[in-house]
Amino acid sequence: MKIREIHVHKFRNHAQTDAIFGERVNALLGQNGEGKTNLLEAISYLCLTKSFFGSTDGIVMQIGEERFEVSGELEGDTGIRYHVAVAYEHADNEKEFFINRTRVEKFSDVVGQFPVVVLSPESGAITTGGPADRRRFLDFVISQASKVYLEDLLEYRRVLRQRNKVLFDSKASRTDASDLLEPWNEELVDRGVRIVHRRNLFLEELQPMVAESYGSIAGRVENPMMRYESSVGSEELASEEAIRQAFLKELKRKAGEEKRFGITLVGPHRDELLLEINNLGVRSHASQGQHKTFLIALKVAEFLYLQSKRNERPILLLDDIFTELDEQRAEKLLVLTGSVGQSFITTTSGSVFPPDFNWASENKRFVVHGGTVEYEGARVLTH
């Protein structure tokens, strides 16, 4: 997948930004606070209907404005062109998404059609943060690979909110809510089982890719492992039936506790993805370098996974990450970037690119300044 051009209107500090991108590396250079990350966020809207940071539509709309629009021309790996547009009206708090000028009814139909892999300073939380950060990673990737998963996830969250409300209300009023909980339990378990099962399957597929790319970065023998640990208490995650039985049993066992806390304590929203290197927990034991290597290995694997599921090379968004990496890892990543598909790399310093980097027409360099984006021709970089 490639973005050929983009038009950003009243989005963050971009009043009107129009750019024609290169087919491979697109460097976005600029000082702090000029609008580099904002442009990546606009790309996220174009490809995924929303911000990868989880910012709301009202927040990303330019301050003082009433609507924003991001549109562009995308091209699939087979050469199919798409005109894509996303527009938000603040007055009715309505967001619309169009593909080839036809309005898309369900956003879940769009997510994954234009796959994206993001690596930003926030991504570090995947290995250093808490379980919620790792669940977010799982959901972000699998949602792009599977529309069914995303729909299960959205429905699960809705059911969870309702069920929590019943529990919360009954705690507050000190009444027994068992009858009221019953209808929600079924839906919670149905969707929850599918989510747990799918996440486990995903990790099994990802594991060899992570091991492979970890090895190629670390350059020595270390054994990175991922393990899914579900709150439903099932040892057997390969079978939906086994997960279902364990889920029901655990819900029963935790019923008293749930009443006491007024909150749902069992289900994929409480699960953990354990990351280990040589059988030691990454979060508790890994060195800084090992954290970074694991993260990049995960991102490379994510790329390969989405590519195989979607038959489409994802667009790579690298936000301000080269400053964090040592030379060796940065070089590996840059080589990789050149060999994948289209990428967008924000940085405050042009020196992350080697002096002999080929700024031919497929690799472009832009300067971002005060919400404007200007193409810097190849001539600028002939050192």
Which positions lie near Mg ion, rule CB under 5 A? 37
Query: Between residues 35 and 112, which has the closer beta carbon with respect to ligand ATP?
Result: 35
Q: Which does 51 bind (CB under 5 to 8 A by kind): ligand ATP, Mg ion, none?
A: none
**CA gap 295, 308 in Å, rounded:** 20
What's at 254, amino acid-wise? K
**CA gap 30, 41 in Å, rounded:** 16
Q: Which does 293 bind (CB under 5 to 8 A by kind): ligand ATP, Mg ion, none?
A: none
**CA gap 110, 334 in Å, rounded:** 29
Kindly state the smallest distance separating residue 63's Cβ from ligand ATP, in Å.
4
- Cα 72 to the chain's mean position, in Å? 21
Query: Between residues 22 and 30, which has the closer beta carbon with respect to ligand ATP?
Result: 30
Kindly state the smallest distance separating residue 368's Cβ from ligand ATP, in Å.
6
**CA gap 167, 333 in Å, rounded:** 48
Kindly state the smallest distance separating residue 208's Cβ from Mg ion, in Å.
33
- When asked if residue 276 is in the footprint of ligand ATP (CB under 6 A), the reply is no
List the helix and strand counts (H, then E) for the chain: 11, 15
Query: Between residues 55 and 216, which has the closer beta carbon with respect to ligand ATP?
Result: 55
Query: Between residues 63 and 335, which has the closer beta carbon with respect to ligand ATP?
Result: 63
User: How far lies 334's CA from each of 228, 339, 342, 382, in Å?
Assistant: 31, 9, 12, 19
Kindly state the smallest distance separating residue 348's Cβ from Mg ion, in Å.
9
Q: Phi-psi bin for 14: left (phi > 0), alpha (psi -120 to 50), beta?
A: beta
Longest dimension (CA), the chain: 76
Query: Between residues 37 and 44, which has the closer beta carbon with respect to ligand ATP?
Result: 37
Site residues for ligand ATP, window 310-369 (CB under 6 A)?
A: 320, 346, 348, 368
Computed from CA positions of residues 210, 146, 271, 229, in that sequence, does the dihedral angle turn out positive or negative?
negative
**CA gap 81, 13 in Å, rounded:** 28
Residues pairing with 97 in the sheet = 86
Q: Which does 348 bind (CB under 5 to 8 A by kind): Mg ion, ligand ATP, none?
A: ligand ATP
| Number of residues binding to ligand ATP, judged by CB under 6 A | 18
Kindly state the smallest distance separating residue 321's Cβ from Mg ion, in Å.
10
Site residues for ligand ATP, window 20-49 (CB under 6 A)?
A: 30, 32-38
DSSP 168-204: HHHHHHT---HHHHHHHHHHHHHHHHHHHHHHHHHHH
Kindly state the smallest distance separating residue 142's Cβ from ligand ATP, in Å.
28
Query: Between residues 37 and 44, which has the closer beta carbon with respect to Mg ion?
Result: 37
Site residues for ligand ATP, window 155-214 (CB under 6 A)?
A: none
175-212 in b/e burial notation, b at 16+ Cβ within 10 A?
A: eebeebbeebbebbbbbbbbbbbbbbebbeebeebbbe
DSSP 10-35: EETTEEEEEEE--SSEEEEE--TTSS
Query: Between residues 69 and 152, which has the closer beta carbon with respect to ligand ATP?
Result: 69
Q: Which does 62 bind (CB under 5 to 8 A by kind): Mg ion, ligand ATP, none?
A: ligand ATP
**CA gap 114, 96 in Å, rounded:** 17
What's at 296, amino acid-wise? I
Kindly state the smallest distance separating residue 323's Cβ from Mg ion, in Å.
11
**Segment near ligand ATP (CB under 6 A); pick from 57-65, 146-154, 198-206, 294-302:** 57-65
Helix (H, G, I), strand (E, B) or coil at 275: strand
Query: Between residues 250 and 320, which has the closer beta carbon with respect to ligand ATP?
Result: 320
Q: Which does 13 bind (CB under 5 to 8 A by kind): Mg ion, ligand ATP, none?
A: ligand ATP
**For binding to ligand ATP (CB under 6 A), which residues are involved?**
12-13, 30, 32-38, 60-63, 320, 346, 348, 368
